[in-house]
Amino acid sequence: MLAACVLLVPRRALCADPAIRLNTVGYLPGHEKRASVAARFTDFSVVADKDGAVVFRGKATGPVHNADTDEDLYVADFSACDRPGVYRLEVAGVGRSAPFRVARDVYDAPFRAAVEAMYLWRCGTPVRATTGGVTYSHAACHTEDAWLDFVGGGHARRDATGGWHDAGDYNKYVVNAGVTVGIMLRAWEQFGSQIQRAGLDPHGAERGLPAYLGAVKWETDWLLKMQAADGSAYHKVSTRDFGPALQPEDEKTPRYFTPWSSAATADFVAVMAMAARAFTPYDRAYARRCLDAARSAYDFLRAHSDSHRADLKGFTTGAYQTGDADDRLWAAAELWETTGEARYLADFESRARSFAEKFDLDWGWGDVKNLGMLTYLFSERAGRDAVLVRQVRDGLVATADRLVTLRDAHGYARPLGTKYYWGCNGGVANTTVLLQSANLVAPKRAYVETALDAVSHLFGRNYYGRSFVTGLGASPPLHPHFRPTLRQPGTRTWPGYLVGGGWPRATDWRDEDENYRVNEVAINWNAPLIYALAGFTGGTPDAR
């Protein structure tokens, strides 16, 4: 591949050397900047991309043995390169890196792209967006959502149009919607004023509503339709089996509500209570609707205290089955924070005490405890148990410290260390939630730098030397498992989507569209990417 590249570029062969692995989107001035190099070297320089002028010279450190890829890696540290520009790393005896930027706004466009990807995921409406001269669009889809056959309603329809498709498939799952909206609203609570300055496209959001909340509202509007008359939330709206590779508007297979689950219902409570807070300044009537919905779902759960899995007989699509202890904790935290009512606080605190570990380093749709703990910890309401607050705070700091230690021990500075599983790139992005939050309660430079290392890992400081986000950085995925482009050679890859990542081994990622275990995209992985980038958009971070 390198040879071909050199042949095709006759004069200055500027092809990126695959051994030099760095953040191919770029770095922020005033922050650490490192590359991992899978080749022995001593000297390196940073050169201007346009004319090759040397702006920095440095020496290698290392090697360190990186266990999960079985490589000896050397590190080039060019943290001192703070002057804005476009550069490459030139490593003596090895080659040149892909170009990268140093700039204060380096993550602004990626942030917008990741939020725009959520727009393009919309169901039930035509979408159309033009980026870099290419238009991505689909017509109104799944306008019949959904049938009540499996929830005792006979062959009748009830409106469940709207929302986001889940991933590379077009189904809509409440548990996964919950964690996605939860992370996006956590970003709003922590980085709202930066997000407001990011220049997002409002896509027809109501007048006066911030574009970002307009993006979230597309999903909360749908979630409201997922609540049954008794207060519970249906677990999903789905075809019975995963459909073929069609455009969304061409998928005409019937889609059904499935029975409720307590995890979905608790997640519904949590995000509706969060939405009530977020929307209050802009739309009081909507905020009230969200809060009423959250309360009735909570009351339903109180009357049904067992962890109740959805009955998914007849469905082979995404299951998202999970025990509800963490979801119920999150629900109580958000309702308490929104209302200040003692019954929610008491519920939260007794649940929180029952968790020996207050935070989990690795978390996601199946474990949302962290979101509840963070809301409690950041609360400015009176009445919290000081002992518990201290335990939660200490738990967060200890977890963030572990992430820093794992980052330090990893050759590609991956804060999740050597854990690889389905969607682990989303897990890497999720570490930024804990790191940025720890930095709020116990400010430490290493937390912020480790969050940036998570971003760098996803943008190319990894075994592949490639960005894991479509359309961004160097050599990004071209063939995600994503039905709008699946099995359609020649179509342009839709931008702004984080792919799941390699597992069971670090080296198992393949950029192949049939390979859904490693190369699918999903809303719950884009949400923490959005969170990660939100913290570094719009200049000076809010959260510092």
Q: What distance in Å separates the CA atoms of residue 246 and residue 99, rounded to the nearest whole number?
A: 36
- Concatenating the DSSP letter of every residue in 87-109 gives EEEEETTTEEPPPEEE-TTTTHH
Beta-bridge partner residues of 274: none
Beta-bridge partner residues of 481: 520
What mask of x and - would describe binding to ligand 9MR in positions 205 to 244, judged by CB under 6 A?
-------------------------------------x--
Q: Does 246 bind ligand 9MR (CB under 6 A)?
A: no
| End-to-end CA gap in the chain | 44
Instruction: For residue 471, give both structure tokens.
Output: 């359309």
Tell me the CB-side half-sphere exposure of residue 251, using CA atoms within 13 A.
Answer: 27
- 57: helix, strand or coil: strand
What mask of x and - would describe binding to Zn ion in positions 486 to 505, judged by CB under 5 A?
--------------------
- Concatenating the DSSP letter of every residue in 254-292 gives --EE--B-HHHHHHHHHHHHHHHHHHTTT-HHHHHHHHH
Q: Does 168 bind ligand 9MR (CB under 6 A)?
A: yes
Residue 362 C-beta: closest distance to ligand 9MR, Å: 12
Residue 369 C-beta: closest distance to ligand 9MR, Å: 16
Q: Does 267 bind ligand 9MR (CB under 6 A)?
A: no
Q: What are the Cα distances from residue 10, in Å, to 3, 13, 91, 271, 451?
A: 11, 6, 21, 56, 40
Q: Does 520 bind ligand 9MR (CB under 6 A)?
A: yes
Point out which span in 163-171, 302-310, 392-400, 412-420 binds ligand 9MR (CB under 6 A): 163-171
Q: Does 251 bind ligand 9MR (CB under 6 A)?
A: no
The total number of residues shown for the chain amounts to 544
Q: Are 504 and 526 in contact (CB under 8 A)?
A: no
**Shorter beta-carbon distance to ligand 9MR: residue 171 or 439:** 171
Q: Does 141 bind Zn ion (CB under 5 A)?
A: yes
Q: Are 403 and 450 in contact (CB under 8 A)?
A: yes
Residue 486 C-beta: closest distance to ligand 9MR, Å: 7
**Shorter beta-carbon distance to ligand 9MR: residue 173 or 268:** 173
Residue 488 C-beta: closest distance to Zn ion, Å: 17
* Residue 318 touches which member of Zn ion, ligand 9MR, none, C-beta under 5-8 Å by kind: ligand 9MR
Q: Does 123 bind Zn ion (CB under 5 A)?
A: yes
Q: Does 248 bind Zn ion (CB under 5 A)?
A: yes
* Residue 522 touches which member of ligand 9MR, Zn ion, none, C-beta under 5-8 Å by kind: ligand 9MR
Q: What distance in Å separates the CA atoms of residue 138 and residue 120, rounded to the nearest whole number?
A: 8
Closest alpha carbon to 307 in 370, 261, 346 = 261
Closest residue to ligand 9MR, judged by C-beta, is 318
Closest alpha carbon to 375 in 424, 400, 340 = 340
**Shorter beta-carbon distance to ligand 9MR: residue 509 or 516:** 516
Q: Does 282 bind ligand 9MR (CB under 6 A)?
A: no
Cis peptide before 63 (omega within 30 of 0): yes
What mask of x and - would describe binding to ligand 9MR in positions 404 to 443, judged by CB under 6 A?
------------------xx--------------------
Contacts for 247 with CB less than 8 Å, ≥ 6 apart: 138, 139, 141, 483, 484
Residue 481 designated active-site: yes
* Residue 422 touches which member of ligand 9MR, Zn ion, none, C-beta under 5-8 Å by kind: ligand 9MR
Residue 92: CB atoms within 10 A of its CB come to 13
Residue 503 C-beta: closest distance to ligand 9MR, Å: 9
Binding residues for ligand 9MR, per CB under 6 A?
166-169, 242, 318-319, 422-423, 516, 520, 522
Q: Which residues are catalytic?
A: 169, 481, 511, 520
